[in-house]
Amino acid sequence: MVAASVLPVEVPGLRVLLETMNLRPGFADPDNTLVTFGAFDRLHFARFVILEDQTLGDLTAYGVAFPDAPIWLVFLGDCDGDGREMVEAFARDAAPGLRRIFAHCTDFAPTTDLRQWMHSHSVSPATQYVNWVGRTVLDVCQEAALHAALRAALPVEAGPQPAIALRNTLIAEVARHGPLPSPRPPTPLAWRLAQLGRAGLGVLAFLIAIPVGLLIAIPFLAILRRRETRDAVIAPRPTPAHVAELALREDYDVTNQFSAFGNVKPGRFRLWTLVVLLWVVNLTTQLIYTRGRLARVGTIHFARWVFFDDRRRLLFLSNYDGSLDSYMDDFINKVAYGLNLVFSNGIGYPRTRFLILGGAEDEQGFKNYLRRHQLPTEVWYKAYPGLTTSDLDRNTRIREGFERSAMSDEEARAWLALI
């Protein structure tokens, strides 16, 4: 992710330029001339967002101000493999377009070295979530093609034939005409080692957390409860104009984007609570929630939380299936505790109790809060429109079944049901 500040006078022109990249409002043309997203075969999702915070006034609830708060332009790509290599590829293959876009940033001149500039403006997320760790764009596309080929190979009248026989027929048919998924490259050793390291870190953190937690639990909870009862709740209904700007860019595909920005509650207590929690959440998304679900929520493709301005502000970005109403429903009815843990450290969040209770359970206040902090995503790209996480999951299971050498009758029937 690249982030750079933009002067207010540049913002309207930048929005106009970014809109030229779109097929529909906010929905990128994969072949647009500025950044030809479709040509980057490791890229799952991408977006441009302008972080023009509408809620800075909320800081007055804490008697502080942030008068010189920058406006950020964010360019984010969710990609396979190393993010630095992705930046290299963008700088190499989309230079003219990116130069035109970044020319709106305060420190970008016609003579600037794009590659170096992008690297120096790279920002790492505090936490990121990937629906299925290790599933590449190539996997997604090949598995979807495999599903289509198997579906097309189904006999019109299956008749009463054993599942195993039908499976063999289908496999032979697709093996003859293709397309076949290419063999998966082995998981890189470096990644395996790093994962092992993270697991070790997780265990260590858990072991340390128990005694430390016991030691600080009482003072921590005392301070927390004091603040939770006094912190201002700022969750008025968002203006119709703001909601219209957001809705204009939603519901073209089965997947939608979400970008929200807000101020962290001032003071070290909330900041460190947030830093530690985001670190813990990140560990769980790397070690536990790597196979299709973030706790009970299965509809998120990619999500990340990123600090800005010396951790005074936090950005949340996600790509989710369905409309916002469904996403909110998941948030409130399935993972309210998880949202409360993180977002209750933001100014104005509905009142929580003990970090996890309340908060998002105030349905209307929570919906107002999220909508009010949401920002229009000027350009949003998805490499595989039309496919949901559930489709990706099913197609992966089809591929796994396709590549297995033998199956029992029951397994074959379950596999056929997927097609």
Partner 1 sequence: MAGADLTVPGDVTERDDVQALLRSGFGPLTEACFLLLRVADVVAARAWLARVHVTSMADLDTKQETVLQVALTAAGMRALGTDPKVIDGFSAEFVAGMAGDAARSRRLGDVGPDAPEHWDWGWAEREPHALVMLYAQPGALAVFREEVVGSIGAGFDVLTSLETSDMKGHEPFGFLDGVSQPSIDWNGERAPGSAADLDYGNLIAAGEFVLGYRNEYGRLTERPIVDGAQDERAAALLPRAADRPNAYDSGRNGTYLVLRQLEQDVPGFWRTMSAAAPANPIPLAEAVVGRRLDGSPLVPLQPQRIPGVGEDAGDRVRNQFTYTRDPQRLACPIGAHVRRANPRNGDMAEGRTGLVGQLLCTLGFAADTDADRIAPSRFHRLLRRGREYGRLLSIREAQASVEHPPAGIHFLCLNANISRQFEFVQNAWLQGTTFGGLTGEADPLTGNRAPLMTGAATDEFSMPQGGGVAKRVAALPRFVTVRGGGYFFLPGVRALRYLAG
List residues near partner 1 by CB under 8 A.
24, 27, 154, 158, 160, 163, 166, 237, 240, 243-244, 247-248, 250-254, 289, 292-299, 321-323, 325-326, 329-330, 332-334, 336-337, 357-358, 361-364, 385-386, 388, 390-391, 393-394, 412-417, 419
Helix-strand-coil split of the chain, %, nearest 5 = 50, 20, 30
Least gap, CB of 369 to partner 1 (angstroms):
14
3-class secondary-structure state, position 277: helix
Cα of first residue to Cα of last residue in the chain, in angstroms, is 37
Least gap, CB of 152 to partner 1 (angstroms):
12
Least gap, CB of 367 to partner 1 (angstroms):
9
The single-letter DSSP state of residue 386 is T
Q: 140 vs 1, 268, 342, 398, CA distance in Å?
A: 22, 43, 31, 12
State the DSSP H helix or E strand holding residue 371, giving kind and residue range, or none if neither: helix 363-373
Query: Which residue's CB is nearer to partner 1, number 52 or number 321?
Result: 321
Least gap, CB of 246 to partner 1 (angstroms):
9
Query: Which residue's CB is nearer to partner 1, number 273 or number 285?
Result: 285
The phi and psi torsions of 288 (rounded to 5 degrees) equal: -110, -55
3-class secondary-structure state, position 279: helix
Handedness of CA 362, 336, 374, 300 (dihedral sign): negative
Assigned token pair, 192: 């395996």
Query: Which residue's CB is nearer to partner 1, number 48 or number 320?
Result: 320
Assigned token pair, 292: 């299709």
Query: Which residue's CB is nearer to partner 1, number 231 or number 250?
Result: 250
Least gap, CB of 390 to partner 1 (angstroms):
4
Query: Which residue's CB is nearer to partner 1, number 25 or number 97?
Result: 25
Query: Which residue's CB is nearer to partner 1, number 97 or number 298?
Result: 298
3-class secondary-structure state, position 267: coil
Query: Which residue's CB is nearer to partner 1, number 110 or number 240?
Result: 240
CA atoms within 13 A on the CB side of 205: 14
Least gap, CB of 166 to partner 1 (angstroms):
7
Query: Which residue's CB is nearer to partner 1, number 193 or number 418?
Result: 418
Least gap, CB of 104 to partner 1 (angstroms):
27
CB neighbour class for 369 (10 Å; exposed up to 12, middle 13-18, buried from 19) = buried
Least gap, CB of 385 to partner 1 (angstroms):
5
For the range 283-289, what are the long-range contacts, defined as Cβ-Cβ under 8 Å and sequence gap of 24 or more?
283/198, 283/201, 283/202, 283/205, 285/127, 285/128, 285/129, 285/130, 286/133, 286/195, 286/198, 287/195, 287/198, 287/199, 287/202, 289/129
For residues 362 and 351, is the Cβ–Cβ distance under 8 A? Answer: yes
Least gap, CB of 407 to partner 1 (angstroms):
11
Distance of CA 177 to the CA centre of its chain: 36
Closest to 82 measured CA to CA, from 218, 188, 208 = 188
Q: In b/e form, how buried is each residue of 201-239, taking b as 16+ CB within 10 angstroms?
A: ebeeeeeeeeeeeeeeeeeeeeebeebbeebebbbeebe
Query: Which residue's CB is nearer to partner 1, number 124 or number 390?
Result: 390
Query: Which residue's CB is nearer to partner 1, number 88 or number 363?
Result: 363
Least gap, CB of 259 to partner 1 (angstroms):
17
